[in-house]
Chain A
Amino acid sequence: MLQLSRDDLVQAYIRMRTIREFEERVHTEFAGGAIPGFVHLYAGEEASAVGVCMNLEDKDYIASTHRGHGHCIAKGCDVEAMMKEIYGRRDGSCGGKGGSMHIADLSKGMMGANGIVGGGPPLVCGAALSAKTLKTGGVAVAFVGDGGSNQGTTLESYNLANVWNLPVVFVVEDNGYAESTASAWSVGGSQLKRAEAFGMPGREVDGHDFFAVYEAAKEAIDRARAGDGPSLLHVKLNRYYGHFEGDAMTYRADGEVEALRETVDSLAAFRTRVTETGLLEGRQLDDIDREVAASIGQAVTAAMSAKAPSEEDLLTDVYVSY
């Protein structure tokens, strides 16, 4: 916490609130039928993306998952362009060609949400290899779900990052479920023992606690930046919505989500911590809440009235040269 200035804290809160507001709005808009396709919401998990990305710069890379909106926002992607992308608009982040599951902005070090579980970790090894070879001083972070932690590509990446001594951090976001299947069942062994077996330090982190994530990520990222190799964070957290929008969540216990919102909400915890310690005032946070809500509202309005791509867009962007 020592390293975080008041400005940093304000930044962190803005990003977490932006993610929450973005996801709550997308949830409502999706239910109203305005948004096409598969949408996976990150609400509830904000402290992980923001706690990690507060340690990163534009030259650092992250790879995300299908549940990518939070990682995008935390890494600095333009929120209005993201919303437009989710609506499939021509001036969305990806020209309307990608949608929710493929939002990317390489200029911000965001290598994309990903429709393929386990798609990201190998890519991050590549980004880290570039950083190492080109001596940019950059690091690369792979966000992986508990489900994604069982993919061969993920486990191979653990090994590759170690044998190549790459500046990588693997952030396993364990929200307890992969679709309807519990991580308590699907993960053999443990995340930390897996890290150890591949020769990396691993730490378990409370993913509802921004400060805990920030500090653990700082240690891992500093280590990577110093050339001391990869590490793994096992971040335990919860998602507030279904696997995707439209999931009735019958596999969850009755009242599970309500209880989580009541007891371990990351935004509420952040607020308590910074106001009780006198670092920020409640009023300041209220103002942020209002401003963020207004800006997300504006993003939705802009997205709704934005133009769809047209026929000529269908054939472009397949190759650099033809």
Chain B
Amino acid sequence: MAKKSYRQAINEALAQEMRRDPTVIVMGEDNAGGLGAPGEDDAWGGVLGVTKGLMPEFGRERVLDTPISESAFIGAAAGAAATGLRPVAELMFVDFMGVCFDQIFNQAGKFRYMFGGKAVTPLVVRTMYGAGFRAASQHSQCLYPIFTHVPGLKVVLPSSPYEAKGLLIQAIRDDDPVIFLEHKVLYDDEEEVPDEPYTIPFGEANLTREGEDVTIVAMGRMVKFANQVADGLETDGISCTVLDPRTTSPLDTDSILESVEETGRLVVVDEASPRCNMATDISALVAERAFGALKAPIRMVTPPHTPVPFAPELEDLYIPSPEKIGAAVREVMEHGA
């Protein structure tokens, strides 16, 4: 199997689905790039080059550049999804949902229910999220808890290249609106990714480490950190389970509860702002449904309740680090030995 980057894995998923299904189209700002300009065609492939190469293969009718009009084109993608196409729309940074959220949560996310189960809206919004790029407060947020909050949306957080390809193909084939969140720091990460298309089902957590003492639930980039911590603590005799929920909606509550029943300790790692995020959601789930199994208070490892700062020194302090995750694990290990 060939090693592929997160970026390549996503690109390959898009290309393979476009080959398989002529109703799959891609749209977004500079998704081919250079439109109307005198230089190279397909000059950009989106701001970080994820869609590069699609336009030459599939043409401008299926790879659409858009003006900077997110309300209009994200809404158009929703409308097209409800009327026969399978659009994959790129919202360059998730922060820009501020411009177009109505079309996502009042329109796409509610058609099915409001129309009494008659609408099918196979929309995928691919969007880049997360801190670590020195991109400051308006280009570094996570925001996935906000999408998770909205009934009708499915929310996907691929944590590695393998995950990204399988989950994106699943997202495109899924008949509901899906918000597919790509962590910007992961684009150059590489791992073995099969050449042929495959899907990873939604709502099935991935067990990336198996252990007995502590359950760490982590998503997106934080899965990598949690795995590192688990591997490091192994030598100290602390054995951790790491669960990557893969999708926050639907959420694989069973796997989380089962794991906590076994370990009795929970650390949830969430890069999103700490109030009303996935850490609070998963903690509440466990407190309500597995309280009896808990040997220690639940620990949540999150950033502080501040916007993402620009200065590298501050941003590094902001992001949940392997050190902070490790400290949280050690802390819960002080209970119920």
> Contact residues of A with B, CB < 8 Å?
36-38, 88-90, 94, 96-99, 101-102, 114-118, 147-148, 150-153, 177-188, 249-254, 256, 308-311, 313-315, 318
Contact = CB atoms under 8 A, between A and B. Distances in A.
Given A37-B135, A99-B136, A182-B37, A308 B71 contact: no
Interface residues of B, number: 43
B304 interface: yes
A179 B33 contact: yes
B310 A99 contact: yes
B309 A37 contact: no
B136 A115 contact: yes
Given A179-B30, A250-B43, A251-B37, A101 B307 contact: no
A88 B136 CA distance: 10
Q: Give the secondary structure class of B's interface.
A: loop
Given A150-B67, A181-B29, A251-B43, A97 B309 contact: yes
Given A97-B311, A308-B311, A315-B304, A182 B35 contact: yes
Interface string B14-48: 00000000000000011001111111100110010
Contact of B69 (A88, A150, A177, A313): A150
A114 B99 CA distance: 14
Interface string B303-324: 0111101111110011000000
B98 interface: yes
B39 A252 contact: yes
Given A88-B310, A186-B67, A251 B33 contact: yes
B106 interface: no
A256 B136 contact: no
Interface string B62-81: 00010111111000000000
B58 interface: no
A116 B71 CA distance: 13
A-B residue pairs, 10 tightest by C-beta:
A185-B36, A182-B36, A115-B138, A99-B310, A88-B311, A251-B34, A36-B134, A96-B311, A37-B134, A251-B43
20 contacts: A37-B135, A38-B134, A38-B136, A94-B310, A96-B309, A99-B310, A99-B311, A115-B137, A115-B138, A150-B69, A180-B34, A185-B37, A186-B35, A250-B40, A251-B33, A251-B43, A252-B37, A253-B38, A256-B38, A256-B39
A177 B34 CA distance: 9
B34 A148 contact: no
Given A96-B314, A98-B137, A311-B317, A181 B65 contact: yes
Query: In this complex, which of B43, B135, B305 has the most chain A Cβ atoms within 10 angstroms of its Cβ?
Result: B43
Interface string B283-309: 000000000000000000000111101
Nearest to B305: A318
Given A151-B99, A179-B30, A102 B36 contact: no
A97 B137 CA distance: 8
Given A181-B34, A181-B35, A181-B36, A96 B68 contact: no
B64 to A, nearest CB: 12
Interface of B: 29-30, 33-40, 43-44, 47, 65, 67-72, 95-96, 98-99, 133-139, 304-307, 309-314, 317-318
Contacts of A98: 136-137, 310
Contacts of A94: 310
Given A37-B310, A88-B313, A178 B68 contact: yes
A94 B309 CA distance: 10
A318 B318 CA distance: 14
B136 A37 contact: yes
Given A96-B311, A98-B310, A180-B33, A118 B138 contact: no
Query: In this complex, which of B69, B133, B307, B318 has the most chain A Cβ atoms within 10 angstroms of its Cβ?
Result: B69
Nearest to B307: A318
A37 B310 CA distance: 8
Given A115-B138, A251-B44, A309 B311 contact: yes
A253 B306 CA distance: 43
B44 A37 contact: no
Contacts of B99: 116, 118, 151-153
Nearest to A187: B67
Contacts of B137: 97-98, 102, 115
Nearest to A99: B310
Contact of B139 (A115, A148, A180, A187): A115
Given A101-B136, A313-B314, A315-B306, 4 more contacts: A118-B68, A178-B68, A186-B67, A251-B33
Contacts of A117: 68
B40 to A, nearest CB: 4
Given A37-B310, A251-B39, A252-B39, A116 B138 contact: yes
Contacts of A256: 38-39
B322 to A, nearest CB: 18
Contact of A101 (B34, B96, B138): B138
A148 B134 contact: no
Contacts of A147: 67-68
A315 B314 CA distance: 10
A118 B96 CA distance: 11
Contacts of B69: 150-152
Nearest to B44: A180
B68 A177 contact: no
A102 B317 contact: no
A313 B47 CA distance: 31
A314 B314 contact: yes
A150 B72 CA distance: 10
Contacts of B72: 152
Contacts of B37: 177, 180-182, 185, 251-252
B33 to A, nearest CB: 4
Contact of A150 (B68, B96, B314, B317): B68
Contacts of A313: 309, 314
A187 B134 CA distance: 31
A320 B313 CA distance: 23
Contacts of A309: 309, 311, 313-314
